[in-house]
């Protein structure tokens, strides 16, 4: 497994505690792990390091960013690596797992956090143990397992904009060998962004366009704990019935945390997520056996105002709304064998997965007639897709794109950890992955007389077709780890990873959509690294790493000018491959227990990324414009600092102060590197103070997120002007926690 900087972010744990991680897919003490594992753990208030949603993970880690689009779709960027894209068929370059189950689309990555024990984050390509879509790294969220001594906790938060957040987990033992657990979360909150009027000539939109949360989740698990075999069954169901926040158009003059859209832009979300898994661990002679069989699925229907304005440039016919209707199902199996041969460890494994994705993507203008799919005004982009031989003399009004994609994946992998001397270990691993991806679909426009016809932009041919991608990839790693003595360790590594190619899942313009030039190819990353990790004294951990990553065929969303028949121009976009890029830098982190009352943690990443567009790519308009640009969501500087101070009182009472901040320097929101698509540097500050009654397992306190009320972009896209989704403003509230 790749060796990386070892960052440990712990709540209420001293650096002398023994901490076991599973990121190596075998339980390993973190001080001995041959890998980069940043660990966030559950706090004594029952939440994951104070986080309320998955994208906030990036606020606790230097060198990790999260591009959030369409409300909850998260593409994590680790060291600047990872495709920033909003379509569901393009997951990020950091593979995201929940209890070891791979979440194959970025729709799943914004899941509710509840009853989570810890999150483990691996920096750098993780192709050997995590396979596809781990070109930048891997993230695994782990929920609390049922057991004889499992924790029981409940937490209520109430705060800004009508926030009510109630979560809890409870378990029991039915017999000495059968343990069960159930956890729930209910979350509601009113809009955090203000929808304001910028053009008095047009009607304003609802306040709910600033985003409303209405979520519920339930998770159950049952553990059969036998002498040589454990069987753990998990089930979960979540529902999202809120409204995703609308974007902000950069052509409007707005104050911080403001948006401005019309009455037709806010659409209720109707999303259901569900899954089940069976995890079996057993002993077969000298071999440890592991099996994880899982199903994950969702159905989703939501949309938002696409142009981000009441009436762009004072023209209501430039208004655009979109909606997604999706279904997804995924079956997966992972099987592993582990054995120790004295000082040598061997792992052999195999994985297989089948997934199926369906999506209807609709764009219209004004108020939609759901039966005819015709809006009350013509969508500006529809006429450009009609082609040279219109099917009607009427006005093209709306666009509908349908895509179906199925994928079969099989992989074999092996990893060995060899003790070449008492102080030196050699870690080798390799993985062979085969993918078969089939896609088909069509794109059509709807005329005002009800006639529908396939798109044929530029007369290339009707937008209907199919194609198949058949790809086999070999990823590998090699690392040398040396114990230097007195708590110091050094390492060098070579690791590789890749992210799958695929089909663009949104507007299909013509017959080329499923031709070879209509596909985006796989990207690959090779990582070279040197580093140190140390625990020189009791109460102190320090780690640093120097890395250089070669990024071949990076996937990037490209925005290009799209001329209309009337001479106007709008922006169209698709996922494409750039030529190559590099990502180089240095990381450092520290965890210091300065006294029994005070713990300080910090992290720093200095990063340089650069796109090299040396070969003119005919599929990318003005591809030379990308040459020399930094990668998106890759700030040159990112730093974190956290502190916890516990002031003891009489009778096992105490007051606990927590504060955390993260700073990142400016970065670009896409690969074009334009100044008007850049987020300036900013810092976020979170803090809390609690009065804790340890003997009763009760605490009550105040919390605040983004206390300086920073206004910042979390992703962007080009359409009519440039639109950005915004981060949440200041949120404050009270918190009551019970635990035992």
The residue extents of the domains of the chain are 8-739
Rounded Cα–Cα distance for residues 17 and 26 (Å): 19
pLDDT tens-digit map of 660-684: 999 999 999 998 888 889 999 999 9
Which are the contacts of 696, defined by CB distance < 8 A and separation ≥ 6? none
For 8-739, CATH number? 2.40.170.20
Query: What proportion of the chain, given as a percentage, has pLDDT over 70?
Result: 91
Work out the average pLDDT over 715-734.
92
Q: What does the alpha-carbon distance between residue 233 and residue 219 come to, in Å, rounded to a whole number?
A: 11
- Local confidence band at 476 (pLDDT 50, 70, 90 cut-offs): very high
Per-residue pLDDT band at 53 (split at 50, 70, 90): confident
Residue 4, pLDDT above cutoff 50:
no
Element of type H or E holding 166: strand 163-173
Is 533 in contact with 484 (CB distance < 8 Å)?
no
727 close to 712: Cβ distance less than 8 angstroms? yes
What pLDDT is recorded for position 249? 93
pLDDT of residue 557: 82
pLDDT (tens digit per residue) in 231-279: 999 999 999 999 999 999 998 999 999 999 998 888 899 999 999 999 9
Distance CA 428, CA 556 (A): 31
Tokens of 632: 């998106």
- In this predicted structure, the answer to whether residue 180 has a pLDDT above a threshold of 50 is yes
Mean pLDDT in residue range 692-696: 88
Residue 448 reports pLDDT greater than 80: yes
pLDDT at 417: 92
Q: How many residues does the chain have?
A: 740
pLDDT bracket for residue 28 (50, 70, 90) = low
| pLDDT-based confidence at residue 82 (cuts at 50, 70, 90) | confident
Mean per-residue pLDDT for 362-375?
Answer: 93
Give the mean model confidence (pLDDT) for residues 103-124. Answer: 89
Confidence of residue 42 (pLDDT cuts 50, 70, 90): low
Residue 360 has pLDDT above 50, yes or no: yes
pLDDT at site 480: 93
Separation between Cα atoms, residue 195 and residue 198, nearest integer Å: 10
* Average pLDDT, integer, range 177-201: 95
Q: What is the pLDDT of residue 615?
A: 65
Instruction: Output 316 or 70, whichever has higher pLDDT.
Output: 316
Confidence of residue 389 (pLDDT cuts 50, 70, 90): confident
Sign of CA dihedral 440, 446, 451, 456: negative
Question: What is the percentage of the chain residues whose pLDDT exceeds 90?
Answer: 67
> Which tokens hold the place of 709?
């009320």
pLDDT at position 101 is 95
Instruction: Kindly indicate the confidence band of residue 55, based on its pLDDT and cuts at 50, 70 and 90.
Output: confident
pLDDT tens-digit readout, 478-496: 999 999 888 888 899 999 9
CB atoms within 10 A of CB 516: 10
pLDDT at 7 > cutoff 70: no
* H/E run at residue 719: strand 713-719
- pLDDT at position 19 is 55
């Amino acid at each position: 497994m790749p060796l990386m900087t070892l960052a440990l972010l712990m709540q209420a744990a001293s650096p002398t505690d023994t901490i076991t991680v599973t990121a190596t897919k075998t339980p390993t003490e973190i001080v001995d792990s041959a890998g980069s594992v940043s660990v966030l753990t559950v706090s004594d208030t029952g939440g994951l390091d104070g986080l309320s949603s998955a994208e906030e993970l990036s606020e606790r880690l230097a060198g990790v960013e999260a591009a959030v689009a369409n409300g909850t779709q998260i593409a994590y960027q680790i060291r600047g690596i990872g495709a920033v894209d909003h379509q569901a068929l393009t997951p990020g370059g950091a593979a995201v797992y929940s209890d070891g189950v791979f979440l194959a689309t970025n729709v799943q990555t914004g899941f509710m956090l509840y009853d989570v024990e810890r999150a483990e984050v691996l920096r750098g390509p993780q192709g050997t143990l995590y396979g596809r879509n781990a070109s930048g790294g891997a993230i695994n969220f782990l929920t609390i397992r049922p057991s004889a001594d499992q924790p029981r906790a409940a937490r209520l938060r109430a705060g800004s904009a009508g926030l009510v957040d109630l979560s809890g987990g409870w378990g029991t033992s039915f017999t000495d060998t059968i343990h069960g657990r159930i956890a729930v979360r209910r979350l509601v909150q009113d809009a955090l962004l203000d929808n304001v009027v910028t053009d008095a000539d047009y009607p304003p939109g609802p306040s709910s366009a600033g985003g409303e949360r209405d979520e519920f989740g339930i998770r159950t698990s049952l553990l059969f704990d036998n002498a040589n075999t454990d069987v753990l069954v998990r089930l979960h169901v979540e529902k999202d019935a809120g409204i995703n926040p609308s974007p902000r158009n950069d052509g409007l003059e707005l104050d911080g945390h403001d948006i401005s859209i019309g009455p037709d832009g806010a659409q209720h979300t109707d999303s259901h997520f569900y899954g089940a898994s069976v995890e079996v661990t057993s002993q077969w002679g000298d071999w440890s056996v592991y099996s994880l069989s899982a199903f994950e699925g969702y159905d989703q229907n939501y949309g938002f105002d696409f142009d981000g304005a009441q009436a762009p440039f004072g023209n209501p016919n430039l208004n655009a709304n979109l909606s997604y209707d999706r279904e997804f199902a995924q079956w997966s199996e992972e099987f592993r064998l582990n054995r120790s041969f004295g000082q040598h460890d061997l792992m052999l494994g195999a994985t297989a997965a089948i997934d199926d994705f369906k999506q209807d993507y609709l764009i219209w203008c004004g108020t939609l007639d759901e039966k005819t799919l015709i809006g009350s005004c013509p969508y500006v982009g529809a006429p450009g897709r009609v082609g040279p031989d219109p099917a009607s003399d009427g006005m093209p009004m709306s666009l509908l794109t349908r895509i179906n994609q199925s994928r079969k994946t099989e992989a074999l992998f092996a990893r060995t950890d060899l003790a070449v001397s008492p102080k030196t270990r050699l870690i080798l691993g390799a993985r062979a992955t085969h993918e078969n991806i089939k896609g088909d679909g069509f794109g059509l426009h709807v005329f005002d007389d009800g006639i529908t016809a396939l798109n044929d932009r530029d007369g290339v041919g009707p937008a209907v077709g199919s194609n198949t991608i058949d790809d086999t990839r070999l990823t590998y790693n090699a690392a040398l780890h040396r114990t230097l003595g007195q708590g110091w360790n050094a390492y060098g590594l070579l690791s590789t990873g890749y992210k799958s190619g695929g089909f663009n899942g949104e507007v299909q313009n013509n017959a080329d959509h499923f031709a070879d030039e209509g596909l985006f190819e796989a990207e690959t990353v090779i990582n070279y690294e040197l580093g140190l990790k140390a625990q020189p004294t009791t109460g102190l951990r320090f780690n640093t790493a120097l890395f250089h990553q070669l990024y071949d065929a990076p996937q990037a969303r490209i925005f290009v000018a799209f001329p209309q028949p009337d001479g106007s121009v709008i922006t169209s976009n698709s996922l494409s491959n750039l030529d190559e890029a590099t990502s180089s830098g240095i990381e450092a982190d520290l965890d210091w227990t300065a006294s029994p009352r005070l713990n300080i943690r910090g992290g720093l990443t200095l990063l340089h990324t650069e796109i090299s567009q040396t070969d003119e790519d005919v599929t990318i308009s003005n591809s030379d414009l990308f040459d020399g640009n930094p990668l998106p969501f890759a700030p040159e500087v990112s730093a974190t600092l956290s502190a916890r101070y516990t002031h003891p009182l009489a009778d096992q009472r105490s007051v606990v102060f927590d504060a955390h901040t993260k700073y990142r320097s400016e970065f670009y929101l896409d690969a074009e590197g334009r100044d008007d698509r850049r987020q300036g540097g900013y810092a976020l500050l979170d803090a809390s103070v609690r009065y804790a009654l340890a003997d009763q397992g009760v605490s009550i306190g105040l919390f605040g997120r983004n206390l300086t009320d920073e206004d910042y972009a979390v992703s962007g896209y080009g359409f009519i002007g440039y639109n950005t989704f915004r981060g949440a403003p200041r949120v404050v509230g009270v918190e009551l926690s019970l635990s035992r």
